[in-house]
Chains A and B, each alone.
Chain A
Amino acid sequence: MSLLHTTPSPTADAPATQATSQAQPLLTVHNLSVRFRTYGGHVHALRQVCLHIARGETLAIVGESGSGKSVTSQAIMGLLPATTAQITGGAITFDGLELTTLKPSQWREIQGRRIALIFQDPMTALNPTLTIGEQMTEGVRRHLKYTADQARERAIQLLELVGISSPQQRLKQFPHEFSGGMRQRIVIAIALMCDPDLLIADEPTTALDVTIQAQMLALFKDIQTRTGVAIILITHDLGVVAGIADRVTVMYAGQCVETADVHALFDQPAHPYTRALLASVPRLDMPASSLKAIAGQPPDLFAPPAGCAFAARCRHAMHVCRQIAPPATPLPDQGLVRCWLHDPRAPQTSPTANEI
């Protein structure tokens, strides 16, 4: 399936691919809870997060700052700070392997090899004192035991894939000799070196300007078509989501409040928060009145509310919302939503056009 295996990989990899059928999701996060120990107490950053992604699919995780999206990606990558972070419950299953119980040496087999991370800020993600070539090849030389020449060739291939010209000379250059957009491409190329099954892109376009954003997204799509890699895209930008996601998960206050197919999400958002997010996006055809923001702030994760985290800011809040956390209600097409409004006992409300 992968175009990149023109140079033979010396070691056999991923024997599990035969066993798992296409129907099994590649990654399943089930009821994952993570808390951080700080001076002020425990911060419950993730509270029973559930999500999954299939092979070759693009899942977008959307949320504001503090919603837990970055912590989720850290948990999947095994990058949670060991001294302060604790996984208090749940499981992460990747291709049949349980990730929450891995030891550091086992993690090192996965990181960079089966799951790769694309950083948010390309200006700081690259080591200024090492050449691009070194930074690209060190992973593949360690994981796949490539020789220096094999690694070089692979690096050149990937630089071409991500659209960087004159790759041979580029390998000897240092990060400060490249522009921001090019550095991000290099970061993407590094992530692809070992042909991972899953890419996690943490706000990959936030640090770039809008014109480069479009190029990046097209690049992601292109890579996915060519290599079949699954992509988890973390972002707060709904425009990016609409651009390339297949499915979307909306996170709020450390929980997944809605998961749906991208078309379903935009056409018929199920959760009031999602609706509010969509309504707050400014559009050119809106009347020139004030922008619609969501009043209030997310709750304090030192002491998360017992009920629904969004209840304080939701105009449809019911008594039960304040008291008891809503369970996950399945939606058609593998979606789900955590909202009491979808409980059969709730009064039927139809979302109004200018919903807040």
Chain B
Amino acid sequence: MNKLQRFFPGLQSYAVLYLVFLYLPVLLLPLFSFNDGTIVAFPLKGFTLKWYGQLGEADTLIQALFNSLFVGAVSAIVSTSFGLFAARAYARYRFKGREVSEGLVMLPLVIPGIIVASSMLVLFLSIGLQPSLMTVILGHVFLAIPFAVSIMKSAFDEFDQSLEEAAFDLGETVVGTFRRVTLPIVAPGIIASLLVTFTVSFDEFVLAFFLSGNQPTLPVYIWSQIRFPAKLPSTLALGSLLLLFSVLLLLTAEYFRRRSTKSSV
């Protein structure tokens, strides 16, 4: 260890600098959202909350927010159900095609977004589905499945098979065992998966941009706002609130994920 320490004396300072690089753009939004001026530049002009006040009056924003909450909630529930079943199958059963299936469900992570978006748009219109929140949900479930599956997989990894067998032996039914033994044990994993998949959907832009038609989600709304310099400060305020919201959700998810795996990473 000492030799390595001498070899990389600046490694720790590099790590700290890297964190600054990672956090700089993210922390800029809240900083300038309180700035009493429409131009995002130094020096700061003074403290104000008026940009946050303006958000409450924007009706299209509120509508887009509800659209996003709806899409996120439905996508989270559907993708987590898929993930729960699939992870259970991978952890518990040996079957033909398991590895192919495990690889396939990760595919959405590595297909460029624009290709997913354009091909789905063409598909949905070909089968007569007009762009709407429905089509956005179909797309977001697709994107969220890899996250749901991998979180649920780690939840099942630690799962002790003999608990289920014991429940069977003591006379529980299949459904009863699942509800009273399996489900409570993997529940933290389910909550973590719901929160993460919700966040994936809530923040997603490109697919929603192609598939939302005239029902914009929040990122699509933001996209329409960032072209107008006059709207800039309130967009920053909105962004800061979203940032806070996402981080809170993710910290909650992390807490539950920890509880579900019980292992220190």
Q: Do A and B bind each other?
A: no
Where the two chains meet, the residues of A that have a C-beta atom closer than 8 Å to any C-beta of B are none
